[in-house]
Amino acid sequence: MIYCGIDWAERTHDVALVDDTGQLVAKRHITDDAAGYRILLDLLAEYGDTEDAPIPVAIETSRGLLVAVLRTGKRQVFAINPMAAARYRDRHSVSRKKSDPGDALVLANILRTDMHAHRSLPNDSDLARAVAVLARAQQDATWNRQQISNQLRSLLREYYPSALVAFEPWKNGLCRPESRELLKAAPTPARAARLTRTQLQAALKRAGRKRGIEAEAERLREVFRGDFAHQPPLVEDALGKQMLALLVQLEAACTATDDLAKAVEEAFPQHPDAEILLSFPGLGVQLGARVLAEIGDDRARFADARGLKAYAGSSPITRASGKKSSITRRWVKNDRLNHAGYLWAFASLRGSSGAMAHYRHRREVGDWHAAAQRNLFNRMLGMLYHCLRTGELFDEQTAFSVELAAAA
């Protein structure tokens, strides 16, 4: 049997093929373009690669055009963690030497010796992979928006506290269009104090507000004309210009987040698993898409519910050595799925009386808030695994029969 290892880079890739004995049978240096991909496929075909029995490939990434080309057909592609590959490198040489062709050879030998210990990329459908792209992009845009919002808030605290007081009653604060429109109209507190009722009302209307405009404009006028400390005029104007530059970034981040959210709302309901995911309490379109993006729709990906829970980081891990033993939460996990699970568990408390009863029970036995939510997420994942396997929708009475009986 032949095994292939590819050390990828931005412009060129090194390819190594080894046989069952570990003997290097071929190596190539290919470019990252269509011509290079053809050379790679021809090389694999020369050494016995067929549609029914493709040569397995190890590479240190799970995305990109090269991986997309390799994943056509039934080929198994193994995305090896670079840290794991570095440990395997030390098995062959203790001199700490490193080269791209040598790394390709190490990756090929990983499959030759330990292919059973590694997991190939899941065979998800194209629709599931498309939802994953959109959901992860929307999640990244949300995080980016929050980061820029925090930077803007920190800047406003230095010279414009009246703006923070004015926007405090609004949900999402600085990310709201009203806040951004008012900051563009008055980038400094001195200019905000001079805004008239008409100008405030016009700014709220430009932001899309329909109701309570006059009352809100009066409230804002009183706040902006309140007694606050001020920077020197020249410094205040300079900080206002800095704020406007940061506001442009926030505008772009908010627009990107909203556009990607709409794209997720269009793509996610088309997936066959969407109905099952949306039947669970606490899962809406955006959060359900994030869960689907990380677990995929390849039913053979996880052998049982325990594997899915370990992948999400919801199940505990035991560390034992000699007479010492401790049970702690997992640090190596899918961070995106774990983050979605935290939001899922928190949102389910209001939508499910059984989830609330389970959470309260965990708190009563001594769990902190985060540990209780993690335990609830762990249980929810087990239910989700069962429902996806059997095609059933979530049922409150079946899922939390014990908790509901105890609460009653």
Using one digit for the tens of pLDDT, what is the confidence trace for 63-78?
888 999 998 888 899 9
Number of alpha helices (DSSP H) and beta strands (DSSP E) in the chain: 19, 7
pLDDT recorded at residue 385 = 94
Cα torsion through 191, 192, 194, 199, rounded to 10: 110
Specify the amino acid at residue 52: D
Q: CA-to-CA distance for 285 and 276, rounded, in angstroms? A: 12
State the Cα torsion 297-300-304-309 to the nearest 10°: -40
Is the Cα torsion angle 27, 28, 32, 37 positive or negative in sign? negative
Torsion sign across C-alpha atoms 254, 255, 258, 261:
negative
- Residues in contact with 200: Cβ distance below 8 Å, sequence separation at least 6, in sequence order: 182, 216, 217, 220, 221
Measured in residues, the chain has a length of 408
Segment 24-58, tens digit of pLDDT: 999 999 999 999 999 999 999 999 888 888 999 99
Q: CB within 8 A of 118, min separation 6: which ones?
A: 58, 78, 80, 110, 111
Long-range residue pairs from 277-281, CB within 8 A, at least 24 positions apart, any chain? 277/384, 279/387, 279/393, 279/394, 280/344, 280/348, 280/380, 280/383, 280/384, 280/387, 280/394, 281/347, 281/348, 281/351, 281/352, 281/355, 281/394, 281/396
Q: pTM score, two decimals? A: 0.86
Distance, in Å, from the CA atom of 315 to the CA atom of 20, rounded to the nearest integer, reads 37
- 120: DSSP letter: B
Give the N- to C-terminal CA distance of the chain in Å, as an integer.
62
- H or E segment at 65? helix 65-70
Residue 403 above 90 pLDDT?
Answer: no
Query: What is the predicted pLDDT for the residue at 407?
Result: 65
Domain ranges of the chain: 3-117, 130-266, 275-407
What is the SS3 assignment for 27-55? EEEEECCHHHHHHHHHHHHHCCCCCCCCC
* CATH number attached to the domain at 3-117: 3.30.420.40
Given this model, what pLDDT does residue 133 score? 94
The two three-digit tokens of residue 61, written as one number:
């990434």
Rounded CA separation 124/112 (Å): 25
pLDDT tens-digit series, residues 294-348: 999 999 889 899 999 999 998 888 888 888 888 788 888 889 999 999 999 999 9
Q: Summarize pLDDT for 153-185 with one digit per residue, the tens.
A: 999 999 999 999 999 988 888 999 999 999 999
What pLDDT score was predicted for residue 408? Answer: 64
146 contacts 255 by C-beta, under 8 angstroms? no
Count Cα neighbours of 200 within 13 Å in the Cβ-side half-sphere.
Answer: 22
Using an 8 Å Cβ cutoff, are 340 and 270 in contact? no
Give the per-residue pLDDT at 171. 86
Q: Supply the pLDDT for residue 329.
A: 82
Summarised one tens digit per residue, pLDDT across range 184-230 is: 999 999 999 999 999 999 999 999 988 889 999 999 999 999 999 88
